[in-house]
Structure 1
């Protein structure tokens, strides 16, 4: 996958996510220098996490903005369904404010949540962010 994947030596343990989710997550983690990523796990609300179709990438504001922009710009190849960051959601047609869920974590203030489609996208070779 190219030199961006030199960080593969420390492959994250995000659980049994779908293969295309793992590849997209690894690409984004490496390109943006992200050290902490959450994957499969139960959630109190409806979520793609239990099905292995979502990742939470823990970032600062600037990295989160760039990461969210990249994920949305390359929605097709990455198989992105929607992105949540800073209490906003975007499924490809612009950001919408979300309800206050009561905490910085629940409001996605310190991590970008990416939900993925139930089938793979295209070639990740076209992703250049």
Structure 2
């Protein structure tokens, strides 16, 4: 089984890679800016989640059974809100399961700006 971890170079992604490898999964992971120093036994792919074509190429090449999105786009709407939709559609087209991770380390839970806040 292959697990693709989107945002594998981050804090959570690093641990997810470790756990997947410990469970015997082949792993592939993405990074946005810098190739991680810990590259052994994991296939690494550069990815900007706003690039739907690049995402499709990576999923087609790795053929993962499971995709885990542990990326953080901060306040960038295209990365934080739109990209997970594209990721879900890509996963479905390729027959992959998708886990979308969100924590208060990724998303504070407050949306709509300072004048109108909605806590989710």
Relative to the length of structure 2, the TM-score reads 0.32
Relative to the length of structure 1, the TM-score reads 0.30
Counting strand residues as a fraction of each chain, which structure ranks higher? 2
